[in-house]
Amino acid sequence: MKRVLLDTGSAGTLLNADSVQQIGMVPEQDDLVDRIRGIGGVEYVFTKNADFIRAGGSTIRDFQVEIGNMDYGLEIDGILGFNFLKQAGAVINSRTMKLSISVM
């Protein structure tokens, strides 16, 4: 996915249902359905544990994502939230606008 927002204020990582459907991530009977609240209001999502997620050449294994409609008026494929930042050991350099990842 190319259009991904890094959101330090979001607790979780949210992926656009239309974008991940192309790789086979679809709702299944045993997926947990949750209600999340953000700047866009309240939204229902389903939660999945992805085998891995790749970002910046690094791989994070056993990663939890939420999948929803993401109808926010923006064309984005996902939001990387604090769970990603923490698990990735991410460091944000606001002067150079670079994100460093040091997966442990």
Label residue 43 by pLDDT band (50, 70, 90).
confident
Superfamily assignment of 4-100 in CATH?
A: Acid Proteases (2.40.70.10)
**Domain boundaries along the sequence of the chain:** 4-100
- Mean of the pLDDT values across residues 37-51? 84
Average pLDDT across the chain, whole number: 88
Taking residues 9-18, report their average pLDDT.
92
Q: What is the DSSP string of the chain?
A: ---EEE-TT-SS-EEEHHHHHTTT----TTPEEEEEEETTEEEEEEEEEEEEEEETTEEEEEEEEEEE---SSS--SEEE-HHHHHHHT-EEETTTTEEE----
- How much is the pTM? 0.84
